[in-house]
């Protein structure tokens, strides 16, 4: 099976139009997936044409990189692995804040290379902007790693426009990874125009609104212990009730297109710009197959206008993060 390819901006880095976000296999949405099943899922993605895989040292922590490295070892030269630095992780795996000091970036790169079992990180993102370290120093540290062949491309995550410009001036940024979907449209006004201007690709995480846009989450849905959605205002019961209208419309368009709501949500993102590559996550092979099918759903101008009209009339209710989490987002 082949999926269409896309280039992340002007960098020349070519990946499948839909990637796989691997975080949820180890972290964030309840208990970790059993290892054998997780390896089978990642390898199943490769067999279905996915070439872009996203992980980070903090997922687990560390367990997700090891899993991704093991699962992708047989296909290493056919695929692109993205991982991230930027957190200070304590001896027991606790997050102790941010740390993007150049020396720490190098330490994380070396440790990630070992866990991934590879000699290069294809795309190395700063996971969150560190207000205590000038972004020029961060970009310079990644530039040195690129010159040594340990890193292929530099990325930023949840960065604001000034940070993007300043980083890009030191070392061209290949991709920005931030939350973007019909459920979270924050990047549209300021960030997307800057990415277009500078030739930077965009990798939306949570492109299915953390599952909400699939139509499978109702007001009474209960999330597992340890699932981050228990802490997000947008997943409070009243917010879920208020946001049902959007899911209902996506469902109508999906029926018309003989597709699923998840496929319409991904097709909407792909229709926004040719350099956007969403990375939905899943733990199930049938969902993976469904998500990949989103690349084959063509939304016409009428479909897109209909969705935009509803989004404009009835804004999504509830903040995407709680106050503590918002502090790490660079604006």
Active site residues: 59
Q: Would you call 112 exposed, middle or buried from its count of C-beta atoms within 10 A (0-12, 13-18, 19+)?
A: buried
DSSP state of 295: G
Q: Could you give the CA distance from residue 202 to residue 19 in angstroms, rounded to a whole number?
A: 12
318: left (phi over 0), alpha (psi -120 to 50) or beta: left
Q: Would you call 11 exposed, middle or buried from its count of C-beta atoms within 10 A (0-12, 13-18, 19+)?
A: buried
Tokens of 28: 């964030």
Tokens of 9: 């901006």
Q: How far is the CA of 266 from the CAs of 226, 280, 290, in angstroms? A: 26, 9, 10
DSSP state of 200: B
Count helices and strands (H / E) in the chain. Answer: 12, 11
Establish how many alpha carbons lie within 13 A of residue 301's alpha carbon, considering only the half-sphere containing its beta carbon.
0
H-type alpha helices, 237-283: 237-242, 244-257, 261-272
Tokens of 121: 């990180």
């Amino acid at each position: 099976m082949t999926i269409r390819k896309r280039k992340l901006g002007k960098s020349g880095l070519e990946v499948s139009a839909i990637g796989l976000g691997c975080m949820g296999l180890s972290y964030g949405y309840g208990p970790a997936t059993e290892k054998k099943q997780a390896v089978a899922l990642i390898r199943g993605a490769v067999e279905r044409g996915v070439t872009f895989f996203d992980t980070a040292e903090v997922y687990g922590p560390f367990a997700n990189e090891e899993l991704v490295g093991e699962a992708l070892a047989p296909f290493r030269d056919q695929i692109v692995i993205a991982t991230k630095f930027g957190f200070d992780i304590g001896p027991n795996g606790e997050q102790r804040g941010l740390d993007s000091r150049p020396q720490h970036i190098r330490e994380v790169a070396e440790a990630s290379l070992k866990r991934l079992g590879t000699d290069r990180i294809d795309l190395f993102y700063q996971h969150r902007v560190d207000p205590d370290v000038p972004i020029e120093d961060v970009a310079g540290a990644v530039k040195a790693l690129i010159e040594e062949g340990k890193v292929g491309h530099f990325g930023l995550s949840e960065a604001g426009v000034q940070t993007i410009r300043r980083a890009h001036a030191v070392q061209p940024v290949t991709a920005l990874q931030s939350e973007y979907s019909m459920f979270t449209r924050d990047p549209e006004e300021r960030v997307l125009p800057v990415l277009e201007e500078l030739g930077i690709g965009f990798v939306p995480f949570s492109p299915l609104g953390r599952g909400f846009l699939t139509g499978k989450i109702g007001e009474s849905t209960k999330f597992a212990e340890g699932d981050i959605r228990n802490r997000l205002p947008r997943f409070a019961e009243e917010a879920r009730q208020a946001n049902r209208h959007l899911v209902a419309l996506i469902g109508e368009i999906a029926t018309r297109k003989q597709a699923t709501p998840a496929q319409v949500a991904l097709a909407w993102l792909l229709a926004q710009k040719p350099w956007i590559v969403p990375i939905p996550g899943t733990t199930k092979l049938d969902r993976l197959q469904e998500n990949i099918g989103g690349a084959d759903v063509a939304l016409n101008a009428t479909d897109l206008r209909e969705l935009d009209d509803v989004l404009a009339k009835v804004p999504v209710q509830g903040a995407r993060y709680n106050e503590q989490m918002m502090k790490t987002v660079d604006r």
